[in-house]
Each structure stands twice: as C-alpha cells, then as structure tokens.
Amino acid sequence: MRLRGLFLWDIRFQAKYGFYFLYAVLTVIYTIIILAVPENWREKTATVLIFSDPAAMGLFFMGAIILLEKSQHTPCAFAVSPVRPAEYIISKVGSLATVSFVVAAALALAADVTNLCIVLLGTVISSTIFTLLAIIIATNIISLNQFILWVVPVEILCFVPAILHLFQITPGWLRHYPLNVCMEMLAGFTPSIAGIFLVMVLIVFLFFLSKHCVVKMWNGMGGVKL
C-alpha cells in the first residue's frame, strides 16, 4: 500500500521536474539516430544507446534527485515517518526502471531488435544496478561537485568493460562481469547461468549497502549545499 503510494509520488515528482519531457525529447532524437544509420548497424547502435542512456540514466538522475531531497531536508522527514528504507529504495529504483523500460522499448522497436524480451529485461536489470549505485554515492556526499567526482570512476568501471565486451574485446576473467552480462542482454543474447547469478549477487549486495546508506543519511540530519 505505502509502497504503491511512494512509487506513484516518485513518478509525480519526476514529472514535475520535467524529467519525462526531457526523455520524450531524447527518445525522439535517439530514434532519429537509429533510423539514420544503415540497417545492419541499427541493432548495435540501439544497444549502445540503450546502455548509455535509458539503462544508465539512474546514475545521474537518482544522484540529482537525492541531492535535491537532501538540500530540502526531506531525509529528516523520512527518518521520522513509518517509511522503511527498503520501501524508499524500491520505489526509487522502480520509478526509474519504468522510464528506462519505456524509452528502451521505443528504441528497441525502432531498431527492430531480434530479442525484445531479453533486451527489456537487460534494461530493467541495468537500470536497477545504476540507480542503486547512485543512491549509495549520493547518500554519502554533500555537494554536486563531490557527486561528479565519484560518478566518473564508477562510470569508467561500468562502461569501459561493457562497451569493449560488445565489440568482443573481453579478457577471460571479465567474462561474467555483471555489467558485461547486462550488455550481452541489451544486445539480445541470453546470458549464462553463472552470469545471471553474479548479477543477482551484485544487486542483492548493492541493495543492502544502499539500505545501510539510506538509514545513515536519514538519521544523519546533515544539511547539504548545492
């Protein structure tokens, strides 16, 4: 009940901040790009676009949303409300995953990908990972500059191996690197059992870590300057 309410409110907040408008425009631009490239390049283009934007948007947007909440002291209000940290996180992850899903679906359909289900599942999984990472970073820092400082290395660690993986440049020991597995799914391949298992382990780990960080932020009461 409360979770559903939180989720709907998160959607409302994102709409208020012009987030959906921005993504509507971006979707149109990406679709034009996909339709502009030669037909045999479309699927790969769509994979790269989906990975770098709808899937990874959580990294920036969730960071921005949490920093904004901190600047308005709403974490204190959550701290003294019956909302559980898990509900807060699931609602945030779910609301962004929904947008990721819709945008990725539009791009995948435009590119006429072969394995739509796997692509969309990969999108939701990647979006979850990136949003959780953003929550962990944003709860621990106090300024936008600091956020950017932390996001860049995380981005390199997440993006570089995955992009290389898409072009089959992967050292053996990174075969089941979770972000590589996500990229495989976005490219329409069914992942290996080991790969999926590692992705799940990563998500569970990030979820518990983000729960810990959210509790720390709520009870920390610190202000934030933007």
Partner 1 sequence: MIQVSNLSFSYTKKPFISDMTFSVSKGEIFGFLGPSGAGKSTLQKILIGMLTTYQGSVKVNGIECKERTKSFYEEIGVDFEFSTMYEKLTARENLEFFRSLYQKKGRPINTLLEMVGLEQDADKRVSEYSKGMKSRLNFIKALLHDPVLLCLDEPTSGLDPTNSRMMKNLILAERAKGKTILLTTHNMQDAAELCDRVAFIVGGKICALDSPHNLIMSRGAATVTYTWLDNGEHSISCPLNQISSDEQLRKLIAENRLQSIHSSEPTLNDIFMDITGRTLL
Which residues of this chain interact with partner 1, rule CB under 8 A? 2, 5-6, 9, 13, 16-17, 69, 72-74, 76-77, 79-84, 218-219, 221, 223
> What contacts 132, CB < 8 A, 6 or more positions away?
58, 89, 93, 203, 206, 207, 209, 210
For partner 1, the closer of residues 42 and 92 by Cβ is 92
Q: Toward partner 1, which CB reaches closer, 82 or 153?
A: 82
- Least gap, CB of 20 to partner 1 (angstroms): 15
Q: How far is the CB of 80 from partner 1 (least distance, A)?
A: 4
Helix, coil or strand: residue 226: coil
* Nearest CB to partner 1, comparing residues 5 and 171: 5
To partner 1, the closest distance from the beta carbon of 146 in angstroms equals 22
Least spacing, CB of residue 138 vs partner 1, in Å: 17
Nearer to partner 1, 65 or 108 (CB): 65
Number of C-beta neighbours around residue 60 at 10 A = 16
C-beta of 24 vs 226, nearer to partner 1: 226
Distance (Å, rounded) from C-alpha 31 to C-alpha 34?
5
Instruction: Report the distance separating Cα 86 and Cα 211, nearest Å.
Output: 6
* Closest to 111 (Cα-Cα) out of 188, 191, 25: 188
Q: Which distant-in-sequence residues (6+ apart) come within 8 Å of 142 by Cβ? A: 70, 222, 224, 225
Q: Are 89 and 210 in contact (CB under 8 A)?
A: yes
Tell me the one-letter amino acid at 131.
Answer: T
Q: Select 75 or 188, whichever has its Cβ closest to partner 1.
A: 75
| Per-residue tokens: 142 | 């106090």
Closest separation between CB of residue 71 and partner 1, Å?
9
Q: Least distance in Å: CB of 23 to partner 1?
A: 18
